[in-house]
Amino acid sequence: MLVEHLPPESATKTEIRNAVGADEVAAHGEYRPDLGQWSATEMMLAAIRDELMLSRYVAIAAAGGKPPEFHPTPRPGVPPTSAQRTGGGMTDEMRRALDPRLREQPMEA
């Protein structure tokens, strides 16, 4: 009962998280960051780092450069599906249909 109310960064909770094996996390089958090796604070720091990296890539692209491909910070207990794109994204025709400002733009080759 007392352990449930400890902060996630406490030594006891950290030891409990470290005792959970990767096979047990994979067998659970759903997103459970509380079964990972990081506390909520560390997960937040990883999210902040990802946002900073994305901002950097946007600044490079806005200046006319070609930023490297973005890879999110790997997080234990969280499957890396956010890094994998499925479906290929939107085509130019789809973008033109959604945004009337693009309809007058010349087609790119």
pLDDT digits (tens, 9 = 90+) for 16-66: 777 777 777 677 666 555 555 677 788 889 899 999 999 999 999 999 999
In a domain, 109, yes or no: no
In a domain, 108, yes or no: no
pLDDT digits (tens, 9 = 90+) for 82-104: 444 555 677 778 877 888 787 77
Nearest CA among 67, 76, 72 for reference residue 14 = 76
Question: What burial class does residue 21 get, using C-beta atoms within 10 Å of its C-beta: 0-12 exposed, 13-18 middle, 19+ buried?
Answer: exposed
User: Three-state SS for 61?
Assistant: helix
In a domain, 107, yes or no: no
In a domain, 93, yes or no: yes
In a domain, 11, yes or no: yes
Domain extent at residue 17: 3-102
In a domain, 18, yes or no: yes
Q: How many domains does the chain have?
A: 1
